[in-house]
Amino acid sequence: MKILVLLKMVPDVVEELEVAADGASLDRGFLRLIINERDENALEQALILKERHQGEVVVLAPEAPEVDDVLYTAMARGADRAIKVTGLREGLGSRASAAMLAGTLPGIAGLLPVDLVLTGCQAIDDLDGLVGPLVAAHLGLPYIGIVTGLDVDAGNVARCSREYSGGVRGRFEVDLPAVVGIQGAEKPPRYVPIAKVRAAMAAGGIETVPAVPGEEPGLLETLEMRKPVVAEGAEMIAGEPDEIAARICEILIGRGLL
Amino acid sequence: MAGAVWVLGEQWRGALADITYELLALGRPVADGLGVPLEVVLLGSGVEHLAGSLGVADRVLCGDAPALAEPIGEVDSRVLAALATERAPAVILVPMTNVSADLLGLLPARLGAALVNFCTDLKTLDGGLEAQCLVFGGKMEVRVVPGGETVVVGVLPGSRSAEEGRSERSPEVEKVPVDPVGSAVRLLAYEDPEAGDVDITQQEVLISVGRGLQGEANLDLAEELAEILGGAVAGSRPAIDMGWLPVTRQVGKSGMQVKPRLYVALGISGAPEHVEGMKGAALIIAVNTDPSAPIFNVAHYGAAADLLEVVPALIDKAKESKR
């Protein structure tokens, strides 16, 4: 079976985020980008399926700072082919990015058709669209998201587990080919030794493909971006760990919790 | 004239989800501001009786068919897109919940309509719309203006209180025709979580851990603190994904909604998906190395520090004071 995994880079929110001079976007100067966590889970799920059923895993990502490292890491983990799509403007919304990706896929030699397209079911920057459903609609494929594990039956059907609230899961079957939005893989993403990543880098092999311009209209205008205005944030406790612990104890005693 | 404001009535396993009322509370002033009706679209099988509590709306559009018994994004998005194409609503409010997530993603794609995601507030301004959204895991807020005839809005849980959107008045119900379509996505069964583990919704004290715990080996610290304070250990999504805790201990959108007397958030950033599950706790104390972590926006007390240093000190001090 052939699986296409769509990856994208998102701001690392562990780092401090700053608003750019235009007041309506992120300051990209200091931005550190990491792979969208759920996309990494999608890759892991694809690799699990490959181990079970053989086949080919192709990873594809729009060009972005640090994306080469992510693609080489994917190859070191077991992806067979890595494609970088160039020419997508930085800061382009998810809506337009998905449209351009979907428009670019058919022209990539030896890529389509695939049995499965896996991608993260959401990213922290998906303000104007969700990549999985948009690509599914563009390609005319069915979509199911919030999936935490899937397997493929004999024939062209996948069985997957979809998450609800309260720990409830739904078992679904999906006709293939399909786009599946992954929340979590059956296992956490596998560890890959840095030496293997370096070997993948030395071997090279990332294919570069220019994006086919899409016609998706800009449907959202951002007036302002700011850090959330907090009505009443936490009372912050300063000091050394000992002092913080002492203050927390005081609070707990005051509330009859200790 | 602009079309109506629609609220997707979230029906799951035969019951109407509370967030439907939150969306009604959010949508009412928007509909009034635009001078258009507020309508609930209710899809399901044998669901007409659920319309009785939706009186904040002017009308309920009820699509009833066996094929719609349980929400499936692939199916419902086609039904809703067909109805929206015919009636051209100005706004379609959809809950940002796991139940409605697939529909939310697919509907704007099928309609060619704008999507505003992560919405926490929606207002009318000079006859137009302005939305406020929480992006980048709750670290930034944006104000956006959508374009196009119809806009689909993904609304974060908790944007309004459900109480504001409840009414015993029975609204007019209009049955809308539904074309039964075969679906490539089919529900086989729901699986409820296995009982037997601790029920975190019944605990008065929860020590909750996130990615900042760094490894399963450090779980002992949380367990010890929980034991001293008479509570249990819970976790945010990463702690469950990493396999440190079973899914029964998960707090948030995919997990449990908890309201303990004390919630200690250790190494949890406070993404909206997590906050939605714990913001009702009576006392929230958060420890996280990142001083700008959104968890400090909901916590009552916070410390920008390493939990691996604070928790051992806290265990010692708590033991002392118990003597």
Over the stretch A17-76, which tens digit does the pLDDT of each residue have?
Answer: 999 999 999 998 889 999 999 999 999 999 999 999 999 999 999 999 999 999 999 999
How close does chain B come to A34, measured CA to CA in Å?
A: 13
**B237, B254 Cβ separation under 8 angstroms:** yes
pLDDT digits (tens, 9 = 90+) for B264-276: 999 999 999 999 9
d(CA B97, CA A121): 12
Judged by CB atoms closer than 8 Å, whether chains meet at A134 and B191 is answered as no
**B156, B96 Cβ separation under 8 angstroms:** yes
Among candidates A246, A212, A191, A165, which has minimal Cα distance to B303?
Answer: A246
How close does chain B come to A95, measured CA to CA in Å?
A: 9
pLDDT surpassing 70 at residue A217: no
Judged on CB neighbours under 10 Å (0-12, 13-18, 19+), A29 is exposed
A93-101: average pLDDT: 91
Q: Is B296 on the interface with A (CB under 8 A)?
A: yes
How close does chain B come to A232, measured CA to CA in Å?
A: 7
d(CA B113, CA B4): 15
Judged by CB atoms closer than 8 Å, whether chains meet at B136 and A124 is answered as yes
Among candidates A141, A149, A143, A142, which has minimal Cα distance to A171?
Answer: A149
Q: Using 50, 70 and 90 to split pLDDT, how confident is the model at A92?
A: confident
How close does chain B come to A124, measured CA to CA in Å?
A: 5
- Tokens 């008479």, located at residue: B230
pLDDT digits (tens, 9 = 90+) for B235-275: 999 999 888 999 899 999 989 999 999 999 999 999 999 99
Among candidates B116, B14, B16, B29, which has minimal Cα distance to B70?
Answer: B14
Mean pLDDT of chain B: 95
> How many interface pairs between A and B have CB atoms less than 8 angstroms apart?
280
d(CA A174, CA A155): 11
For residue B146, the chain A residue with the least C-alpha distance is A220
Token pair recorded at residue A41: 């889970």
**B80, B107 Cβ separation under 8 angstroms:** yes
From chain A, the residues in CB contact with B118 under 8 A are: 126-127
d(CA B218, CA B85): 54
Q: Using 50, 70 and 90 to split pLDDT, how confident is the model at A216?
A: low
- Tokens 């709750």, located at residue: B138
Among candidates A161, A133, A165, which has minimal Cα distance to A148?
Answer: A161
Strands (E), chain B: 5-9, 11-12, 15-16, 38-44, 59-64, 91-95, 114-125, 128-135, 140-146, 151-155, 172-175, 185-191, 205-209, 232-235, 262-266, 283-287, 301-303
Measure CB to CB from residue A165 to each of B98, B106, B189 and give the nearest one. Answer: B98
B132-143: average pLDDT: 96
Token pair recorded at residue A83: 């494609």
pLDDT surpassing 60 at residue B1: no
ipTM: 0.94
d(CA A41, CA A75): 15
Judged by CB atoms closer than 8 Å, whether chains meet at A145 and B73 is answered as yes
A163-182: average pLDDT: 95
Q: Which residues pair with B42 in a beta bridge?
A: B9, B62
